[in-house]
Amino acid sequence: MSSPLESQPSSTLLLREVLAYAGATGPDLLDEALAEALSEVSVARCRVYVLVDLARPVDDPPVAGALVEVGQPVRDARLRALAVALPHRGRGLGRRLLGDLLTEMRADGVQRVRYRVAAADPGTFSLLGSAGFVAADRTPIAACRYDGPAIEALAVAWLVREL
């Protein structure tokens, strides 16, 4: 049985920016990432984008969302989070969200986007790689080998994409 989203043409999906503040309506997918971002940077530097399905009722939650921290100057941006609602995963919506988001950021004058991905998150690494992101560097968080694989899984890579 197909869900209502599967039966809708992709043209009913729309990326929109919503207010970025803790407890904001809509970006529930991003609550944890947004709270962390707001503890580190000004709300003026945070942008929340949601992918909504226009064929669904207006009060339905978004199907996906992204949190972006814009730099000073705005030419650089950090993609802090990408999320697809659980019932909508596996349908290419993460790829759609990322494509629409990169188009929006390019239109806003952003020239470079970066994302910090953990080695333990191969899905995100693969998605971003397929969208043209490349590894800028790889920085293990610890040089010691107390827990070998556990420590290695915490290594991070900065992925970068020029727009």
The answer to whether residues 39 and 47 touch, using CB atoms and an 8 Å cutoff, is no
Length of the chain: 163
Say what the pLDDT of residue 7 is: 46
Global pTM exceeds 0.95? no
Distance CA 48, CA 60 (A): 17
pLDDT in tens, the chain (163 residues): 444 444 444 579 999 998 887 666 555 788 888 888 889 998 999 999 999 999 999 888 899 999 999 987 778 999 999 999 998 999 999 999 999 999 999 999 999 999 988 776 778 888 999 999 998 865 444 444 444 455 445 557 788 999 9
Say what the pLDDT of residue 110 is: 94
Say what the pLDDT of residue 4 is: 47
* Whether residue 4 has a cis bond before it, omega within 30° of 0: no
Say what the pLDDT of residue 28 is: 75
Say what the pLDDT of residue 145 is: 42
The answer to whether residues 67 and 80 touch, using CB atoms and an 8 Å cutoff, is yes
* Radius of gyration over every alpha carbon of the chain, rounded to an integer in angstroms: 17
